[in-house]
Structure 1
Amino acid sequence: MSRWLVEQLHDDFQLGLKADKVHYDSETEHQRLVVFENRTFGRVLTLDNVVQTTEKDEFIYHEMLAHLPILAHGAARKVLIIGGGDGGMLEEVLKHRGVEKVTQVEIDAGVIDFSKQYLASICKDAYDDPRLDLVIADGVDFVASCAERYDVAIVDSTDPIGPGEVLFTDTFYGKAKNCLAPGGILVTQNGVPFLQGDELTNTMRAFRALFADAACYLATVPTYAGGPMAFGWGTDDPAKRQMSLEVLEQRFREAGIATRYYNPAVHQAAFALPTYIAEMVG
């Protein structure tokens, strides 16, 4: 029998999704994992009753947080992913043939194990790729002692509650920057500004203190309700955000990647901010 699962991430706003069938419902050491079927969105993953990803709209979030910084960089060989246990981010990053190594740091091995079983349409065979260096650890601890340097670092975190809370601190961002090679790019998920404005404001304050070029860009993901979602951007090479459309188009063609949301024109336009979000960024 179907039932409604209600996300109560926000005090004054709820998101309800009909669960036609529950495939998985279990507590791990860190959080409660649920995978259920929804007629519109396919399989839906929630952590502690908060929607993380769905089969039908995951491509928007993962494409914009993976392809945009990699193509902006232009020569990314090593990529760091913090979080992203569903494997969608890893799968998108590995589409880039020029990427030689991806280190993924996930705090909860249980998320990866059940994603391979229940969300195979999202992660596909990414966890079998020989370029993957999978580390089961707290992302905060990893960046604090990181010896390698990465061209792109992607923070694919949950919302700033529970295990994901520490991934939104100034200390974490500073340590993450230290993991970057010269000219490297750090990108983060920063929630829906209309409902989570402090999240974006605090991240941008930290990024402005850390990077020569600090900004954010947007994408609209249907199940992250409440308006467009923001992604933080930080690098010490301002030219990487100013790439011409022609250069981006050439890199996109050479990458040979099929996408459903990302394209070079969207890449450039994503940095154009509505006034209310621009005021949060400062």
Structure 2
Amino acid sequence: MDDDSEREPCLWITEHLTPYGTVSHGVKQLFASKQTKYQSMIIADIGPYGKALVLDGRIQTTTGDEYLYHEPIIHLPSLLHGGPKKVLILGGADLGAAREALKWKSVEQVVVIDIDGDVVELCAQYLPEIAQDCSDDERCKLIVGDALKYIDETDETYDVIIGDLTDPIENGPSIELFTRSFYEKVKRCLNKSGVYVTQAGTISLREEKVFPRVANTLKTLFKEVVPFSSFIPTYGTPLGFLASSDSKLVTKLTADEINEKLDSDLHNGRETLKFLDGTSFLGLLGLPANVRASIQSESTVYK
């Protein structure tokens, strides 16, 4: 008899990267399926990448490769800042970003705000490997609420703000969180030397042109915008990020300098990281020439 692990799945999760291309993952076991107030969600075992959170048919994170997303989105802007004390995470129901932020010795407070309480609850139940013990850390505060409303109403300011958001698809439900009007509100919540970072969709320009447009939108507000990217296998396409600030963001560092900073500023240093070190940090910044050129020539601004 064949081993169950070798049987071809009878259920597949398929995402369209373009009208002509897809990425598919077979489902080994389904743990949860629910229509929340805001979106459809699934938590399933997809084999080699472990358990996955799927929202509106798109994989958001998996236990197998989440660190390729969470380590860059937290540690690159934190390194550029130098020593963040207060971190705000917009989205981030799985708490993977919060887990990484809490590794910084300088961090005194991490606030996570996600609109969907059902996703928060089911992530805690089925994906504890991602959050680990950060929900028990007194520095971490989780709010179930509207990130846009929070940004509108809060008087708090932060050293690093993370846009751990769903994909910026033109005419999609989250595109308002990638507009100049939203970024103006985010900027108001940043300290003078603060850094805002957001995931901004694929850097594969044959698939989608949003990344350079989000970059150009941020450039209308911030003096410094640093693009970087990471390849997360389950997404099937290289993901782009943008770090923005009105302070000088120094990226011309050596691998040794970055390693020294990580070892001195993180609890347990680089031993606590799976992906990021000096060499991979520099690799994240090495975008292809055509992507850099596209950012330079882009004129669209999401208002």
Aligned residues of 2:33 and 2:41 also touching (Cα < 8 A) = yes
What does residue 279 of structure 1 align with? 293
Structure-to-structure mapping, 1:209-220, within 5 angstroms: 209-220=220-231
Shift of 1:248: 2.2
What does residue 154 of structure 2 align with? 146
Q: CA separation in 2, counterparts of 1:241 and 1:269?
A: 11
Q: CA separation in 2, counterparts of 1:11 and 1:242?
A: 39
Shift of 1:122: 0.8
Tell whether 2:248 aligns with 1:238. Answer: yes
CA shift digits 1:65-115 (9 cap, x unpaired): 011111221120000100011111111111112200011111111111110
Structure-2 change in CA distance of 1:261 and 1:36 (3 Å):
same
Say which SS state the counterpart of residue 238 (structure 1) adopts.
coil
Structure-to-structure mapping, 1:197-212, within 5 angstroms: 197-212=208-223
What does residue 4 of structure 1 align with? 12
Aligned residues of 1:192 and 1:225 also touching (Cα < 8 A) = no
Say which SS state the counterpart of residue 240 (structure 1) adopts.
coil
Match of 2:196 among 181, 186, 197: 186
Say which SS state the counterpart of residue 272 (structure 1) adopts.
coil
Tell whether 2:134 aligns with 1:126. Answer: yes
Aligned residues of 1:200 and 1:280 also touching (Cα < 8 A) = no
What does residue 282 of structure 2 align with? 268
Which ranges of 4 or more aligned residues in structure 1 deviate by more than 6 Å? Answer: none
Aligned residues of 2:42 and 2:53 also touching (Cα < 8 A) = yes
TM-score computed with the length of structure 2 as normaliser:
0.88
Shift of 1:178: 1.3
Shift of 1:245: 4.1
Tell whether 2:236 aligns with 1:225. Answer: yes
Match of 1:62 among 53, 65, 70: 70
Aligned residues of 2:81 and 2:249 also touching (Cα < 8 A) = no
Aligned residues of 1:8 and 1:49 also touching (Cα < 8 A) = no
Instruction: Name the % identity.
Output: 31
Aligned length: 281
Moved more, 110-119 or 3-12: 3-12
Q: CA separation in 1, counterparts of 2:181 and 2:135?
A: 30
Aligned residues of 1:72 and 1:243 also touching (Cα < 8 A) = no
Q: CA separation in 1, counterparts of 2:225 and 2:254?
A: 19
Moved more, 140-149 or 189-198: 189-198
Runs (5+) with no aligned partner, structure 1: none
What does residue 90 of structure 2 align with? 82
Tell whether 2:144 aligns with 1:136. Answer: yes
Say which SS state the counterpart of residue 54 (structure 2) adopts.
strand
Structure-2 change in CA distance of 1:247 and 1:14 (3 Å):
same
CA shift digits 1:154-190 (9 cap, x unpaired): 1000113554232111111121111110111111001
Shift of 1:11: 2.1
Q: CA separation in 2, counterparts of 1:117 and 1:77?
A: 29
What does residue 158 of structure 1 align with? 166
Structure-2 change in CA distance of 1:259 and 1:113 (3 Å):
same
Aligned residues of 1:25 and 1:33 also touching (Cα < 8 A) = yes
| Higher radius of gyration, 1 or 2 | 2
